[in-house]
Amino acid sequence: MPYASNADLPANLRDILPMHAQDIFRAAFNNAWHDHGDDSEREAIAHRIAWAAVKRRYRKLGGRWVEKD
């Protein structure tokens, strides 16, 4: 289920990720969703890819996600 906007992301993601990180997550998830259309595990794969994309630019520091230097 691709996300049309950040408002469509799960509430827990909206609560913990800054807006820019939400943009990254959503774009990566949507791309992975489309790329893995025939895979029975496509939602799990899309989530893993989206988190990997977020972790390239952000890190968790003191319980908050902050942009890497």
Query: Over the stretch 31-45, which tens digit does the pLDDT of each residue have?
Result: 999 999 888 999 999
DSSP conformational letter for 6 = G
In a domain? residue 12: no
Q: Is 8 inside any structural domain?
A: no
Instruction: Decide if 58 is inside a domain.
Output: yes
pTM: 0.93
Enclosing domain of residue 46? 18-67
Residue 4 lies in a domain: no
Q: How many domains does the chain have?
A: 1
In a domain, 11, yes or no: no
Q: Quick check: is 9 in a domain?
A: no
Q: What is the CATH number of the domain that holds 53?
A: 1.10.1740.70
pLDDT band at 63 (very low <50, low <70, confident <90, very high): confident
